[in-house]
Structure 1
Amino acid sequence: MLVKTFQAADMSEALKMVKAEMGLDAMILSSKQERRKGILGLFSKPYYEVTAALEQKPVQRPVYYQEKPERELSTKEEFQNSMLAPLARELRELKERVEALAKKETEKKEPAPVAVVEMPESEVKPFQPQREGAAPRTFAREDMEEIKKLLLNAVAAKEEKASKPVSFPVVAGGEMLEVKNLADDGDLSEEALELLATELRSEEVGADSIQALLELIRPAAELGEELEALRERLIDAFAGIIKCSGPLRLKKAGPRIMATVGPTGVGKTTTIAKLAAMYALNKGARVAMITTDNFRVGAIEQLKTYSKIMDVPLEVAATVKELETVLAKHADKDLILIDTAGRSPKDREKLEELKVYLESHPAIETYLCISATTRDREMNEIVANYSVLPISRLLFTKLDESESFGCIVNAQVRNKYPLSYFTTGQKVPEDIEVATARKLANLVLRETEQ
């Protein structure tokens, strides 16, 4: 970098000096007004001192042309670069074409392979050469038919030796199960039961549930029933281990009170709206809705919209006292549905607060809502942590978004809470149905209900 100081009578003149000598790319580092030193400097005029700098660019030195030393060419390179290379390439291509044509002619002359048919040894007669001078051997039509029959029998006997695999129904994921010939082992029942167990495991049904289901159909398997018949029995066997509560039954005296609880985002508010529409519009029951969810404005507004459409009253209860008040206000109703705020299953403090709400009235029945898309281990944690509340039923949502349904089986069998409803979408009130063991079995085994 070039640094230089300029002095002038005024600043403009100093800048002109910088521009003239260093150009427009110069940078001003400092500028100040000075007086000359000494006694005479007291009476002299002040001057301006400017320090400027210029970034010097490296000088591009000219590159002089230098001839590279020639490399000595090998004999092969000299040949390729010579006039003989094109001629050699043409001769090579011509040779390859001649060899290809010769090979093709040879293949045409070779006789086609003859199919060999095995004949039973009893039918094979020793060859008797024709005597010299004898008349040519002839065959009657009957002889030709007999020879043809012998050949066909030999082919059929050879085909019967091939063993054929036994095919079974398609399991989840579209995979076709094929096993070795069951007749070879002699134990048809165990093979069939193992196939059904594999089908259940593919739907993530727990080992304890699988064992309980298979024990119910084992007697029929040991009697030799076909696999399809055993699958039908397996569907019926679900009723032996899956407990369902059936629909909400209205009381003759006093309202039926139902509250939904569960993690955030599982669809509690929409489920409340579906049940309200089902009973108010389809069954003509007197219904009231209550929400304790004062955290989400959207939840209240959503229920207000359904309330207006169905002409069903909606109340907001922010405290336990307010909940007791609105329950008393609607004591003449047939059904009261309570929507609660979503709670994290790990937030013990919030769950204890919710417990106070739900135990404020002895008639409140608590339904735990769980998404069917929840993984099995997380579902166990949800049910275990929410068990501090007075849970009476399980309600599974978003079945239309789930890839497997074994977790529902596991949750019911493990925790003993009966299943109440299944929801499959956002339509109100269409996308809700009463949970049954057969419905769950058809979901797990990918069967269509008849």
Structure 2
Amino acid sequence: MRVKRYVVNALPEAVSIIRSELGKDAVILNTKEIKVGGFMGMFCKKKMEVIAAIETNKAQAPVQQSPKSTPKVNAAIEQILKGAQRNATAVMEPPPGAQAETRDERADREQFIIDEIRDLRQLMVKLSKQDSDRAAMSDQLLELKAHLEEQELDSQWLDRLLQSIVDKQFEDQTEYTKEQVWEHAAAQLEEWLHPFADQEISREARVIHFVGPTGVGKTTTIAKLAAEQTIKQGRKVGFITSDTYRIAAVDQLRTYANILNVPLEVVFSQMDLPKAFKQLAERDLIYMDTAGRNFRSELHVSEVNSLLQSSEPSETVLVLSMTGKTKDMAAVADHFSKYGVRKVLFTKLDETAVYGAIFNLIMNFELYPTYMASGQTVPDDINRFQVRSYIQHLLGSGSR
């Protein structure tokens, strides 16, 4: 066994030196704080003594840079090492005149260094894995990866998708063409979405509540669906709105109600609901428009949820606009899912070219997509959610 002693300012510095001199199989046997220099016990500096060793038969030359590594990754690791060294040095060397540290304080500092080294090791492994993954992927896979990153597909699903294609290529012992890569991606996405396909707003529900943030197009969507039910299905529809926060909201729905010859009731609180339902007792179907609020706040979600209580068979549909930020839509979906909302309707598809959020929301929150809407034309510009049609939007021209 080869044993070597190092005196350094901080543990991260020793780790770097040991790895370079003894190799990756070296182990640290002991560490302790020592004092060096000074005069007659004064003006000495605190250092770290590190004892490291390696089995003789495992001794090796300093670790060389992997041929797969990239300057970007190496620079990032070097920067992290320097940062860790500065932080640890600051911890181990208190300013002149500071009081002697207690045993607990020393333990806390040692734990700080250990945690920092652990985090550094994890990050280095992650960077190395990402680098090797890039080297292992074909140009076709890299192109698909770049495309779906632009589509804002969650990394967890993107990684699984790419791995499934890599595994399939290994099984077939061939490298796929771009067309084959896109075909496999489409097939895998369709398989994942299959349990959530062919969903619609319940035909058994008499009252349909529409909830969602401000500006997602709830009112226009209600008008589109109402026109379909009255004109195409011949059903008697009624409107209820509680969106009294926006001045023009009631007027907008009233305009649609007049065009479609549909009665409209306005409610200001839960107390007004019984009267509204009584006025619409002869209606086959009631669409209720709720106020758009900051639904990233769970308090506002609970306020709206209090208006959704009904003795009638009912269902609630979350309306989300594709022009919203993915993180904001996820926060809204998370809050409403806690109240059992599982149906979702996506609007404004014509105002974006990024569709990954739909997949993320469906898979991460187990939401059932009902319709996809685009444009302002009533009763057109709304269609049932179709998995294959959606995947074509997501994959773009590569899926054709």
Normalising by structure 1, report the TM-score. 0.52
Larger radius of gyration: 1
Alpha-carbon shift at residue 192 of structure 1 (Å): 3.6
> Structure 2: 5+ residue runs without aligned partners?
1-134
Q: Deviations over 1:266-294 (max 9, x none)?
A: 11111111111122112222222111112
Higher relative helix content:
2
Pair 1:406-2:359 in alignment: no
In the alignment, what sits opposite 1:296?
A: 246
Q: Residue 427 of structure 1: CA displacement?
A: 1.0
How much does 1:314 deviate?
1.6
Cα distance in 2 for partners of 1:409, 1:260 equals 21
Aligned residue in 2 for 1:197: 145
- Inter-CA distance 205–386: structure 2 relative to 1 (3 Å threshold): same
Structure 2 Cα separation of the partners of residues 218 and 277 of structure 1: 48
Counterpart selection for 1:429 from 358, 379, 394: 379
- Residue 275 of structure 2 corresponds to 325
3-state SS, counterpart of residue 248 of structure 2: helix
The change in CA–CA distance for 1:196 and 1:436 in structure 2 (over 3 A counts) is: same
**Is the contact between residue 216 and residue 319 of structure 2 (CA under 8 Å) also seen in structure 1?**
yes
Q: Which residue, 146, 155, 160 being the options, matches 1:207?
A: 155
Q: Is the 8 A contact 2:320 2:346 kept in 1?
A: yes
Any conservation in 1 of the 2:240–2:267 contact (CA below 8 Å)? yes
Contact 1:367 1:393 (C-alpha < 8 Å) held by counterparts? yes
Once the two structures are superposed, residues 209-246 of structure 1 have per-residue CA deviations (whole angstroms, 9 ceiling, x without a partner) of 22343455556544245321331332232222222453
1:316 to 259, 262, 266: 266
What percent identity do the matched residue pairs reach? 32
The CA deviation string for residues 380-420 of structure 1, in whole angstroms up to 9 with x for no partner, is 22222334544121222111112311122112211111112
Q: Give 1:118's aligned residue.
A: none
Structure of higher RCO (CA pairs closer than 8 Å, 6+ residues apart): 2
**Separation in 2, partners of 1:354, 1:399:** 26
1:264 maps to amino acid:
T
Alpha carbons of 1:355 and 1:190: their partners in 2 closer, same or farther (altered >3 Å)?
same
Deviations 1:287-342 (A, max 9, x none): 22111112233111111111121122222222223223333554554322110011
- Using the alignment, how far apart are the partners of 1:364 and 1:342 within structure 2? 20
Equivalent runs, 1:255-404 vs 2, <5 Å: 255-361=205-311, 363-404=313-354
**1:100 matched to which residue of 2?**
none
**Aligned length, in residue pairs:** 261
Q: Secondary structure at the match of 1:336?
A: strand
The whole-number CA distance in structure 2 between the counterparts of 1:202 and 1:260 is 30
What corresponds to 1:246 in structure 2? 199
Structure-2-length-normalised TM-score: 0.59
How do 1:211-230 residues align onto structure 2 when only pairs under 5 Å count? 211-214=159-162, 217=165, 220-222=168-170, 223=172, 224=174, 225-230=176-181
Residue in 2 that maps onto 1:29: none
Alignment of 1:152-167 (within 5 A): none
Is residue 365–residue 392 contact of structure 1 (8 Å, CA) maintained in 2? no
Letter in 2 for 1:277: A
| Equivalent position amino acid for 1:431 in 2 | D
The alignment yields a C-alpha RMSD, in angstroms, of 2.8
State the distance in 2 between where 1:232 and 1:328 align. 54
Structure 1 residues not aligned, in runs of 5+? 1-186
Cα distance in 1 for partners of 2:343, 2:381 equals 19
Counterparts in 2 of 1:263 and 1:194: CA distance versus 1, 3 Å = same
